[in-house]
Amino acid sequence: MTAPGGGALATRGGATVRRMKWSLELSLGNSRSRGDRQSKDGDVMYPVGYSDKPVPDTSVQEADRNLVEKRCWDVALGPLKQIPMNLFIMYMSGNTISIFPIMMVCMMAWRPIQALMSMSATFKLLESSSQQWLQGLVYLIGNLLGSALAVYKCQSMGLLPTHSSDWLAFIEPPQRLEIMGGGMVM
Amino acid sequence: MAWLVVRLAISVSLFYTASAVFEDQVGKFDWRQQFIGKVRFALFDTHSQASKKLLVATDKNVFASLNSRTGDLFWRHVDKTGPEGHIDALLMYGQDAVVVAGNGRLLRSWETTVGGLKWETVLDTGSFQAAALVGVQDFVKYVAVLKKSAISLHDLSSGSQIWVENLPDSDTVQYQTIYSGGNGLVFVFGVVPNSHIVIVEYKIEDGEIMNKKSVEAAWMSSLESSCTVISSGILLCVDQITQSLYTLLLQSAEQTEMRQIHLQTLDLEVASGFQPVLTSTQPNPAQPPLSEFFLQLSPDHHILLQLKDGLIVPLRDFNPSYLAAFATSGERTVAAVMSPKNDTACSINLFSADTGRRHLDTTIIYHMDPNGGKPNRLYVHAFLKKDDSVGYRVMVQTEDLTLTFLQQPGRVVWMREEALADVVTMEMIDLPFTGTQAELEGEFGKKAAIQDGLLPMVLKRLSSQFILLQAWLAHLWKLFYDARKPRSSVKNEVNIDTLSRDEFNLQKMMVMVTASGKLFGIDSKSGTILWKQYLENIEPNSVFKLIVQRTTAHFPHPPQCTLLIKNKDTGLGNLYVFNPIFGKKSQISVPALPRPVLQTLLLPVIDQDYAKVLLLIDDQYKVTTFPSTKNILQQLQDTASSIFFYLVDSSQGKLSGFRLRKDLSTELIWEVVIPTEVQKIVAVKGKRANEHVHSQGRVMGDRSVLYKYLNPNLLAVITESTDTHHERSFVGIFLIDGVTGRIVHEAVQRKAKGPVHFVHSENWVVYVYWNSKFRRNEFSVLELFEGAELYNSTVFSSLDRPHPPQVLQQSYIFPAPISTLEATLTEKGITSRHLLVGLPSGNILSLPKMFLDPRRPEVVSEQSREENLIPYAPEMPIRDEWFINYNQTVSRVRGIHTAPSGLESTCLVVAYGLDIYQTRVFPSKQFDVLKDDYDYVLISSVLFGLFFATMISKRLAEVKLLNRAWR
């Protein structure tokens, strides 16, 4: 709302600047210059915050509100819409462990996590919507589903330490309780 | 198709395991030393003056030629072990060496320059008595071989038999020696103990008996060494009881009894209890012997005598003298006599044989090794110098089987340690840190340091830093100094003072115990003998057990090894405690062992001096501890209930287990009897104490885990059937828990025979036997698994094991006989294991354990492929590149010792037998080391290049930004 006024001020200032870089006025006739400037706009001094341009009617129309709602739903449903695409990529990349599938999986896992981390920013975006909480929830679920998909992909690629064999290297050899020795009679 | 897949799989797996050395790696980290054994016969090649050959025949059935200038082998022939290859006699004439081998079974003639066989003749059966070269008219043409009941004459150039004659009355007369003086006759001497001597005369041409006579000699029991022939056919004998010499003219018909000459008339006396020895010399077999001879009256008293006109005249008395020998060069015969000089040295002098006069300036000083044995054989090589005087070199063999070759005036030309041909047991000990490292260790290691207070600690720190600086400067100076010298003269000489551990602990001290009782400390990198110690009074059939009580890891305390020597006859043992790095005997008081020791047990319990405790169990099942301080006894009382012994008595077929009581007696807790009528226990092996198993299980194709049954108390007992018929013989294997006596598994291999070689490690046992049905060698592998779940993953107790393990077994055909078997060993047990197979051919095969895996599938499945299992194939391949010792074969390999190094990928291997071979193996390749040909220059230049490029471009970018800002 303050932007148009500021803009006006800037243009005014700019106009002044454009006329001359600087000027020195030795006469005390300050009013003349002011009068000169003011005479252009009128003789009255404007109060602070006065804009001589007409202020547009900012009251939100019913149609715009619908538009905002729609936009917000778009944001909220974004992660969910990506899932079929991800599924397709998942299917295409296969379960072999090589550089491209790994990159895919990393992307798939990283995006939802990133989205979840910037959740507050998204919420701000949805602030204007009346169904803010519902949209937030849908957005969250979408991202969670996305990361679940990534986890599933990792699982099917065998990257998750879910088997006992993945922990085998960490098993310490058991401590022996008895000491035993001997052999053939010498 | 399936076969193709199998072959493909095998070739792929081989691609990963092939591990041969490259040509430029030869000799880089491996070395071999060849030995011959205890010399029984040694002859110098006097055929030509420049000859460097020394022919030796040894008790190891080795016939070899040594370079007398360097002591290296020209060639060596290793015959069969045991009596079959036993060398009975060695004779040399000209370029030919004639050898009688295998108790008179074979007569061979060798060409001495290259060691080629000229001819070989199989002799008639009969036990060998003597052999002699026979000459006719100044020319040696024949060789005569005397057996118990026959004499045969062979042509020297072709080996063909000229004639063979049965000896008369050979059932009553013991024919023992043979003599020919070049006059067309061969004399055979026999004796009827305490009755008479029989002399038979044969004609050389046709073997006709020319004369046979018997001479009364009631005092005579054996001809050997107490009788000899001197001076154109006079038999000379000596008797200790009557203190007399006896002479007999061989070719006189009238003399029917021996002429007695009392030693008293010569003012001589034989030491009581000593069998006097006569030594004569026959320089040319076609000529009669000389009339001079040595008479040995006591172990250190020789006398040179001469027979002149039927009278015996003493030429020179050598008292004291240890050894005496004759040698001939050209026409001149000399006698060399070794006499003691002082406590540590002997002097050898040369005397003219016919007069007994000493040759001037011929003394050789022989310094006796204070850690060695006494000299017991002297071999003399005489030669004519340019001024026509006689020069000589001597080879001295000592009790500890050291051969020393000396020349005037006492310079040791070379030395050979032939005791190493019979290594019994060995250990590899880490080398200590350098003095500076040790200094730092000591600063923080000493317990006293804690009580020192602050200021002394600071001073100590400063002083040690100063020492470090000093050492560094010295090192720099040495580098600088060496750099100026030509490269060839800079030699990395290893000696005991500069010995220190290298970066990766690849260089170790090999402590070797030999059958003769000599201990050696050998540097594993170069094979240099750093110390040796001869233990006197070791019975030939003693049993040795070498125990490392303290390693080098406990700095101010020196490392400590204990050798248990047990006399087989008396059963009594004694302990020899020494420092394995310097070979010095330790001053620690050793417990007396009044009763026969049955077994030992090294406990992981350490005393306050960081020495592991050794328990010795005697025949009353009482335990002696060493060291036995109060602290130890206290610790033992606390842990006594968890200390167990097992003893295996093969003669009774009994395995018994004992538990230690608090008062150091033992109680019998289990007993397993394997009836000796059916089978007998041949070997028992537990696991190696220093073995680490990194992985507790195996990953299956479905990514589950099959846990290994890692019972540290498990024993593998191998039995062989007493019935050796090929249809009924069998080999049995029992896996027995040594604490509880529970038989975990037993398996019987039918129609199988020993000798069984086996390795017991981790959760597997690999054994090799002879399949008498299919007549081939077979490998069998047993693996034990706990299953998909661990019963108790934190502690292992044999007393709490409710579930028996799963046992898997598979067998394979091995296309070669084997001599010994061992497994590689690494620091942490991460590296895959290989089996080291010593073959009789002298090669050492490194066989990946992967091939001996009972889970190898017959039908390939997805899962087995996932597990990298090679499909089962009954034949075990042998690949030439698996031979870790390429062409450096180890004769008669008897044992392989493996030791971990500081690098996980590297295992140190020592194979010993007649030879010793040391190398390193990398079962999973050198995954933790940069390769030798790693391009340091390229990598570092690229790195530096990139670094400078970054710096320059950064600067340029800054300049550009600044310029843009000004614009």
Q: pLDDT by residue (tens digit) across A60-81?
A: 566 777 888 888 888 888 888 8
| DSSP letters spanning B618-652 | ETTSBEEEES--HHHHHHHHHHGGGEEEEEEETTT
Examine the domain organization and report whether B577 and B640 are in the same domain.
no
* pLDDT tens per residue, range B241-252: 888 888 888 877
Q: Are residues B568 and B669 in the same domain?
A: no
CB-based contact A178 B798, cutoff 8 Å: yes
H/E element, B230: strand B227-230
Closest CA to B896 of B916, B869, B878, B873: B916
Which residue range is the domain that position B945 belongs to? 932-960
Q: By the CB < 8 Å criterion, does B693 face chain A?
A: yes
Q: Are the CB atoms for B404 and B412 separated by under 8 Å?
A: yes
Interface test with A, best of B563, B564, B570, B599 (most A CBs within 10 A): B599
Buried b (16+ CB within 10 A) or exposed e, B431-463: bbbeebebbbbbbeeeeeeeeeeeeeeeebeee
Q: Is the ipTM of this complex over 0.85?
A: no
Same domain for B564 and B531, yes or no, is yes
Chain A: closest CA distance from residue B714 (Å): 9
Same domain, B344 and B407: yes
Shortest distance between the Cα of B400 and any Cα of chain A, in A, equals 24
Q: Are residues B439 and B510 in the same domain?
A: yes
**pLDDT given for residue B813 in this prediction:** 95
Same structural domain, B427 and B535: yes
pLDDT digits (tens, 9 = 90+) for B780-829: 999 999 988 888 888 888 888 888 999 999 999 999 999 999 999 999 99
Please check whether residue B584 lies inside any domain of the structure.
Answer: yes
Taking phi first (over 0 means left), then psi (-120 to 50 degrees means alpha), and beta for anything else, what does residue B624 get?
Answer: beta
Say if A96 is an interface residue toward chain B (CB within 8 Å).
no
Calculate how close chain A gets to B637, using CA atoms only, in Å. Answer: 14
- Which chain B residues are Cβ-neighbours of A158 within 8 angstroms? 703
pLDDT level of residue B912 (50, 70, 90 thresholds): very high
Q: What is the pLDDT of residue B285?
A: 80
Q: What is the pLDDT of residue A10?
A: 42
Residue pair A68/A129 in contact (Cβ under 8 Å)? The answer is: yes
Residue where a domain stops, chosen among B536, B571, B590: B590
Closest CB from B602, B643, B793 relative to A174: B793
- Across the interface, whether the CB atoms of A186 and B597 are under 8 A apart is answered yes
Cβ separation of B712 and A176 shorter than 8 Å? yes
Residues B403 and B438 in one domain: no
Both B380 and B433 in one domain: the answer is no
Contact list, B638 vs chain A (CB under 8 Å): none
Picking from B418, B434, B454, the residue at the C-terminal end of a domain is B418
Judged by a CB distance cut-off of 8 A, whether residue B600 touches chain A is yes
Test A168 with B705 for CB contact under 8 angstroms. yes
Interface of B with A in 462-481 (CB under 8 A): none
Residue in B with minimal Cα distance to A162: B703
pLDDT, one tens digit per residue, over B718-737 is: 999 998 888 889 999 999 99
Report the alpha-carbon angle A114-A116-A118, nearest 5. 70
In angstroms, the CA B921 to CA B937 distance is 28
Burial code (b: 16+ CB inside 10 Å, e: under 16) for B834-859 equals bbbbbbeebbbbbbbbbbbbbbbeee
* B170 belongs to a structural domain: no
- Decide if A181 and B566 are in contact by the 8 Å CB cutoff: no
Residue closest to B555 by CA, chosen among B626, B500, B613: B500
With contacts defined as CB-CB under 8 Å, which chain B residues touch A183? Answer: 599, 646-648, 684, 686
Q: Which of B641, B673, B705 is the last residue of a domain?
A: B673
- What was the pLDDT predicted at B109? 92
In angstroms, the separation between the Cα of residue B706 and the nearest Cα of chain A is: 9
B585 shares a domain with B512: yes
A163, A174, A183: residue with CB nearest B794: A174
Q: Is B845 part of any domain?
A: no
Same-domain status, B572 and B607: no
**Statement to judge: residues B326 and B371 lie in one domain:** yes
Q: Verify cis geometry, omega within 30 degrees of 0, for the bond prior to B627.
A: yes
DSSP classification of residue B462:
H
Calculate the alpha carbon distances from B332 to B94, B95, B172, B796, B953 in Å. Answer: 18, 21, 42, 78, 91
Q: Give the count of Cβ contacts less than 8 A between chain A and B.
A: 120
Rounded to the nearest angstrom, the minimum Cα separation between B800 and chain A is 10
Q: Does the distance separating the beta carbons of B794 and A165 come in below 8 Å?
A: no
**Averaged pLDDT for residues B504-510:** 90
| Nearest CB partner across the interface for B795, out of A164, A177, A185 | A177
Amino acid at B2: A
Which of A97, A170, A177, A185 has the most B C-beta neighbours within 10 Å, making it the best mutation to test the interface with B? A185
Asked if the structure places residue B539 within a domain, the reply is yes
Which residue do the tokens 């072999």 mark? A96
- Give the lowest-confidence range in A29-43, B158-172, B376-390, B695-709: A29-43
Token pair in block for residue A11:
């243009």
The verdict on B329 and B409 lying in the same domain is yes
- Asked if the structure places residue B697 within a domain, the reply is no
Number of domains making up chain B: 4
Chain A contacts in chain B segment 623-652 (CB below 8 A): 639, 642-650
